A and B are shown apart, each in its own frame.
Chain A
Amino acid sequence: MNSNPTVRWFWFASPQTFFPLAGTIARWCAVGAALLALAGLYVGLVAAPTDAQQGEVYRIIFIHVPAAWMSMFIYLVMAGWAAIGLAFNTRLSFMMAQALAPTGALFTFIALWTGSLWGRPTWGTYWVWDARLTSELILLFLYLGFMALHAAIDDPRRADRASALLAIVGAVNVPIIYYSVQWWNTLHQGASVSLTRAPSMAATMLTGMLLMALAFWAYSIAAVLVRVRCIIRERE
């Protein structure tokens, strides 16, 4: 291997060299996800106190908020890999984008499902055509559209390029989801956790939410790397 760091970076851009590395990282992340989820569930369901206003049902946020974060973040990573694939014509980049889509769609579904079940007892409705909820639903359709478009084109290289364009164009929806609660008067509340100000919740609640977020991160990395290994074996 060349000692130049730039060249070493491209060394792992080859599916053949990335394949064993992905397997090792996936195993460690799967173990990490299980441990973090156990810790997060303990803090969220046992250690965290009952909310004074919402009662026990507020504990849905320990999966709802991390799932919503993951749904947006995975889309941006997917669009990023798609853009790298189009710019550098690297096969692994397109494979990564393809591998990210089902997990991203899953987290989007979880965010919508758990949000709906939280909304019924607190807002009095499962669903409203609110800017945050509607833009998150559009994100689910973008993921499904990406997967459907890729599956509809027989030539894998053409499928890669067509779906990559859709992923990049669809990325405009992510800031719309994130800022929707600021730009419009929405039923959905604003961000409870921000990098620029102190959190508006108890420390135990924040710990539980961050542990579950880390568990979902580790799970996503493991699932995506296992899937990209399948794609490499199917296509190479």
Chain B
Amino acid sequence: MSHGFFLWGAYAVTFAVLALEVWFLFRRSRRAGPSRQIK
């Protein structure tokens, strides 16, 4: 396999999992709802 496969495989998965974490954080943040006691 060419070096490009390993290089882009590393970069693509790294940024995909970081984007996934951001998405999960946004979703959790929305589900947590607005703060009742904390402003």
Chain A, interface size: which category? 20 to 34
A226: nearest residue on chain B (CB-CB)?
A: B25
Residues of A within 8 A of B11 (CB): 60, 63
Q: How many chain B residues have a CB neighbour from A under 8 Å? A: 23
B23 to chain A, nearest CB (A): 11
Which residues A195-236 have CB closer than 8 A to chain B?
Answer: 219, 223, 226-227, 229-230, 232-234, 236
Q: Determine whether the beta carbon of B29 is less than 8 Å from that of A223.
A: no
**In the bound complex, what is the Cα–Cα distance between A55 and B3 (angstroms)?**
8
B11: nearest residue on chain A (CB-CB)?
A: A63
Majority secondary structure of chain B interface residues (helix, strand, loop or mixed): helix
Q: Determine whether the beta carbon of A230 is less than 8 Å from that of B3.
A: no
Residues of B within 8 A of A57 (CB): 3, 6-7
Residues of A within 8 A of B18 (CB): 106, 110, 219
A125 at the interface (CB under 8 A from B): no
Which residues A103-123 have CB closer than 8 A to chain B?
Answer: 103, 106, 109-110, 113-114, 117-118, 120-121
Q: Determine whether the beta carbon of A15 is less than 8 Å from that of B17.
A: no
**In the bound complex, what is the Cα–Cα distance between A219 and B10 (angstroms)?**
18
Residues of A within 8 A of B28 (CB): 227, 230
Q: Determine whether the beta carbon of A56 is less than 8 Å from that of B22.
A: no
**B7's contact among A19, A59, A229, A236, by CB below 8 Å, is which?**
A59
Interface pairs A-B: 8 shortest CB-CB: A57-B3, A233-B32, A114-B10, A117-B6, A117-B10, A19-B38, A60-B10, A230-B32
Interface residues of B (CB under 8 A from A): 1, 3-4, 6-7, 9-11, 13-14, 17-18, 21-22, 25, 28-29, 32-33, 35, 37-39
Interface residues of A (CB under 8 A from B): 15-16, 19-20, 55-57, 59-60, 63-64, 67, 102-103, 106, 109-110, 113-114, 117-118, 120-121, 219, 223, 226-227, 229-230, 232-234, 236
